[in-house]
Amino acid sequence: MRLFTAIHPPVEAIEHLTARVAGLRLGAASAAGTNVRLADPARAHLTLGFLGDVDDGRLVEVESALGLAAEWSRDGRTAVPRLRLAGGGRFGRGQFTVLWVDVRGDVEALRVLSRLIRSRLRHARLPYDEKPFRPHLTVARPGDRLPPADLDADLAALQDYEGPEWSATELVLTHSEPGPRPAHHRLAAWPL
C-alpha cells in the first residue's frame, strides 16, 4: 500500500488558488484542450512525509508512529499553525517540469512536524522518503507541453499570488493509488 502523510488546505483556500490558476496561461491551455496535467483540487494537499510502499500488515505501526508525532508536535504550542498558499515556483525542467505554490505563515511548525514524523517512522523501522522537506502544493505537471515563455509568465504571476490564511488542524494518513485514474483514500487523521 502506497502511503503519505499530509495537511489538507480548506476548500476556500483551494478554490481561491484554482481561480488564480484558471487565469494563468496554464489554465487557458488546459481550457483549450492541452494536457498540462493540472492538479486535481479534490486531492490538493501538503505532503509532510512520503512513506512509499508499506505492507498492509504494518498499518497499525504506521498509525502509532504518526499519532505520536502529531501529539508531540502539539506539546508546548498554544495554537494550531496558521498558513497560506502564496508565491510559487518550479521543480525540474523540460518534460519533468512541475509548477507549485509555496506555503507561508507558521512554516516552522510544519518543519517540526515533518521531522517528528520521520523520526517516529525511523524509530519504528518504517520506510520514508529522506528528501529535504519543502512545503508546497503542486499546481500542475505541464512538462514541456507549454511554451517556455508561457511557463515563465505563469511563474512570475504566481510570485504575486497570496491566498487566504487558514489553520492546519489535522495530520492525515493517505493511501495513494497512482495510475491513469489516481485516487487518494483517507485512512486516519490526528488533530494538530
Evaluate if residue 134 carries a pLDDT over 80: yes
CA-wise closest residue to 37 among 175, 177, 133, 145: 145
Q: Which burial class, exposed, middle or buried, applies to 8 when counting CB atoms under 10 A from its CB (0-12, 13-18, 19+)?
A: buried
* pLDDT more than 70, % of the chain: 98
Provide the residue range defining the domain that includes 81: 2-191
Give the residue with greater pLDDT, 122 vs 77: 122
Q: Total structural domains in the chain?
A: 1
Q: What is the pLDDT of residues 106-116, one digit of tens each?
A: 999 999 999 99
CA dist 25 and 127 (Å) reads: 39
pLDDT of residue 80: 85
> How much is the mean pLDDT over the chain?
93
Q: What is the pLDDT of residues 49-106, one digit of tens each?
A: 999 999 999 999 999 999 999 888 777 666 789 999 999 999 998 888 999 999 999 9
Q: Which residues contact 88 (CB under 8 A, 6 or more apart)?
A: 99, 100, 101, 102, 139, 155, 158, 159, 161
Q: CATH code at 148?
A: 3.90.1140.10
Pull the grid cell for residue 18.
484554482
Q: Which burial class, exposed, middle or buried, applies to 167 when counting CB atoms under 10 A from its CB (0-12, 13-18, 19+)?
A: middle
Q: What is the mean pLDDT of residues 129-149?
A: 93
Instruction: Band the pLDDT of 178: cuts 50, 70, 90.
Output: confident
Supply the pTM of this predicted model: 0.88
CA-wise closest residue to 107 among 89, 82, 72: 82
